[in-house]
Amino acid sequence: MIIFVIKIKNNIVMQTVLVELINENALRILKDLEVAKIINLIPNKKNIAKPNLASRLRGGISKERAEELQIELVKMREEWNSRGF
């Protein structure tokens, strides 16, 4: 799914329309309209998909190190709970 903001010139007034593209043919048609100077496509930077935190951090540490950290975390939680905090 690609979302564009499209400004349409209607006499003097410009309208901004949010369009959700259902398939690649729609994108091709919109690009053809832009080439024909009928519309101007402006990518909406707010809607550009950003990778989530998990996918950005994946592979940052080794599996072995992650397991070591998990064991250490469990130990720290047990110590915290045994002290009655």
Domain limits, the chain: 2-49+58-82
pLDDT value, residue 75: 95
Tell me how far apart the alpha carbons of residues 77 and 37 are, in angstroms, rounded to a whole number. Answer: 63
pTM: 0.40
pLDDT value, residue 60: 85
What is the 8-class DSSP label of residue 12?
T
Which positions of the chain have pLDDT values less than 50? 1
pLDDT value, residue 1: 45
What is the 8-class DSSP label of residue 50?
-
In sequence order, the 6+-apart residues with CB closer than 8 A to the CB of 55 are: none
Tell me how far apart the alpha carbons of residues 30 and 58 are, in angstroms, rounded to a whole number. Answer: 36
